[in-house]
Structure 1
Amino acid sequence: MKLNANQLGKHLQGSLAPVYVVSGDEALLCQEACDAIRAATRAQGFSERQVFNADTSFDWGNLLQAGASMSLFADKRLLELRLPSGKPGDKGTAALLEYVARPPEDTVLLISVPKLDGSAQKTKWGKALVDGAQTQFIQIWPVDAHQLPQWIRQRMAQAGLSASQEAVEMIAVRVEGNLLAAAQEIEKLKLLAENGSVDADTVHAAVADSARFDVFGLIDAALNGEAAHSQRILEGLRGEGVEPPVILWALAREVRQLASIAQQYAQGVPLEKAFSSARPPIWDKRRPLVSKALQRYPAARWALLLQDAQRIDAQIKGQAAGDPWIGLSLLTLSVCGQRLALSGASDL
């Protein structure tokens, strides 16, 4: 059965289910949901705990054996199964179906998995975990950019803090969606804020810049058309001492791949086939992002951007005039969909 994450706390005050499944990709929120279940089991006398990590070499018989064996140390037990791949395989499917069909008494099984998409929830094991009469399935949803300020405000209120809107927005910008970083900064503010009141000056003085700038984040922002965000990441990379050749390598690689895929598509090759034949192939999760970028320009325009990348390379090597950082900025904006041309060529 599905259980809303907001209802978990109230649910745990009553009788516990034999099986709990916490599913999601937001590490902090998943961890806190699992912590709440662990605390509830301890409060209700589940004093023994066993943890299983279901990697590729995991023996699923160990889970069934643990469920069938008598505890030597306690009347009630908590078993934890961590499934980082989100795919149990044939043996895991059989073991999960067998366990869920006849869960042992005085035992709670806590399963933590990444977000299960629609296809995974339609498998035999997925249906057993999501809709089983013996299970409680908790889906943890990410907090998007629009929800983040409200999430921060609620989190601060739970910590006994009151904050101005400017302070909340400043924290949201600085942590860039990193909930763990936001939670850590709020804990820090608990120690530093006078009378539990937080304003922009308090945040400015106390909150470290927890945004994580990396080259692949720059590429994703550019493919998604996020011009302002991509420029902030680029400035962050420069501030962290990342050298222009590293950034250019990543940008040129992406533009070269986009040009190749766009050319194949123009010649009648289905987009999915072009994605699969790309080197390296485009992962399923990245295909929507790459598809979005491909809609901006025809193949010839992507080829021109590749020429711009070559010009930046010459600037880095001192073989051409111009600042390579300006070139990287303009190339990134072009990938975002801003109609700019380093070479002065007209848009196609």
Structure 2
Amino acid sequence: MRLYPEKLAQHLKAGLAPCYFIYGDEPLLKQEALDLLRHTARGQGFDERLRFDADQGLDWDEIFAASQSLSLFSQRQIIELQLPEKLDKTASERLRELLKQCHPDLLLLITGPKLNQQQQKGAWFTALSNAGPVIPVATPEGPHFARWLSQRLQQNGLQVEAEGVRWLAFAFEGNLLALSGEIEKLVLQNLPQPLTLALLQEQVQPHHQFNPFQLFDPLLEGKVKRGCRILLQLRSEGIDAGMLCHLLARELNALLQMQLGLSAGQSFSQLASELRIWSSRQNLVQSALNRLPLAKLQQLQSMLAAADVAVASFDDDEAWRWLYSICVGFLDGKKMLVAP
């Protein structure tokens, strides 16, 4: 059963499931889901909590021993288990064995990293889905982020004008932890409401945060303004231009191979399978291929080669100018006439 974080509180009104799996790369939403589950469990007599972390090595025998015993001071216990980035065959089998140990006085709270489509098809993930709710936590983006932010403000008793909400979404995109802290500060300041854009800009310091992988999806969609904004923010956060060149090269190479394959009569689904393009990204890739002919992709690849030369020559400004031009080039199929 898939359960999204915003629905967790409503779900818990009907009682606790024996097991929850929270996975993803958004630290705030993951921590809040865990805190809510712990609080609910404590209210139902789960007074003992044991924690096992993959970063410190997983002793499965110790976990099994804990799941089968109760202390003198508690009749109900929580076992928290942080899974590693990848589960080998042995870990997958032991996890599935552990799930069979569930009983009314044991609550399993299992957390893990962001999972790709292949991992979500694994036997261990299926077993977790059957044992209880699986809760994906990801940073909301675009319109989803604006809606999430509006709900968050309302939950904290804050009324904010529409343009103020849009500015906050821009100022804190990709950094929910910082945003949560600023909302708490605004509540404590007891400012006159509704909060205006001018007041927010006076009181709040922007804290954008992106990772390099967030750059590519907007470019594939042709949303170059957003892509360029993310690129500039990545530079301000100290991301290395050479890293972006490497990641962009991988994306462009895949697009080139697909465009060549389509020209040779291969099907999109066949090419996507050969190049291991996740199903969740295939619509984005298809959009880029419809917009960018082979000649344009080859030009972008040549521009990327120039960016690589600038990186190798330690000309950081030149490299970033090329990267910016490449982002703009994802707009349409027209050949670019102006180079940095």
Alignment of 1:199-218 (within 5 A): 199-212=196-209, 216-218=213-215
8 Å contact kept, 2:299–2:335? no
Matched, 1:80 2:100: no
2:143 matched to which residue of 1?
A: 146
Aligned equivalents of 2:96, 2:237: Cα separation in 1:
50
8 Å contact kept, 2:293–2:333? no
Picking from 153, 156, 161, the partner of 1:156 is 153
Amino acid at match of 1:34: L
Amino acid at match of 1:331: I
Q: Deviations over 1:153-207 (max 9, x none)?
A: 2211222211111111111112224333322221232234514542111221232
1:299 matched to which residue of 2?
A: 294
8 Å contact kept, 2:291–2:333? no
Alignment of 1:1-348 (within 5 A): 5-12=5-12, 15-54=15-54, 57-85=57-85, 88-114=87-113, 123-132=122-131, 135-140=132-137, 143-195=140-192, 197-212=194-209, 216-237=213-234, 251=248, 255=252, 258-259=255-256, 262-263=259-260, 266=263, 284=278, 288=282, 290=285, 292-309=287-304, 327-337=322-332, 339-342=334-337
Aligned-partner SS, 2:109: strand
8 Å contact kept, 2:22–2:136? yes
8 Å contact kept, 1:29–1:140? yes
Q: 1:93 to 1:283 in 2, by over 3 A?
A: same
Displacement of 1:228 in angstroms is 0.6
Aligned equivalents of 1:162, 1:336: Cα separation in 2:
37
**TM-score, normalising length: structure 1:** 0.75
Displacement of 1:57 in angstroms is 4.8
8 Å contact kept, 2:296–2:335? no
8 Å contact kept, 1:256–1:303? no
Aligned equivalents of 1:309, 1:8: Cα separation in 2:
45
Aligned equivalents of 1:2, 1:221: Cα separation in 2:
27
In structure 2, list runs of 5 or more residues that go unmatched.
Answer: none
Aligned equivalents of 1:88, 1:66: Cα separation in 2:
21
Aligned equivalents of 1:26, 1:241: Cα separation in 2:
21
Q: What root-mean-square deviation, in Å, do the aligned CA atoms of Structure 1 and Structure 2 show?
A: 4.1
Q: Deviations over 1:195-239 (max 9, x none)?
A: 454211122123222222565544453334221112223443565
Aligned-partner SS, 1:194: coil
Displacement of 1:29 in angstroms is 2.0
8 Å contact kept, 2:70–2:76? no
Q: Deviations over 1:17-61 (max 9, x none)?
A: 332333444432222111111112223332221111246952322
Tell me which structure has the larger Cα radius of gyration. Answer: 1
Amino acid at match of 2:203: A
Aligned equivalents of 1:260, 1:121: Cα separation in 2:
27
Aligned equivalents of 2:43, 2:127: Cα separation in 1:
27
Q: 1:195 to 1:128 in 2, by over 3 A?
A: same
Q: 1:187 to 1:118 in 2, by over 3 A?
A: same
Q: Which has the higher mean CA deviation after the structures are superposed, 145-154 or 48-57?
A: 48-57
Q: Which has the higher mean CA deviation after the structures are superposed, 43-52 or 291-300?
A: 291-300
Q: Which has the higher mean CA deviation after the structures are superposed, 227-236 or 4-13?
A: 4-13
Aligned equivalents of 2:301, 2:36: Cα separation in 1:
52
Amino acid at match of 1:194: L
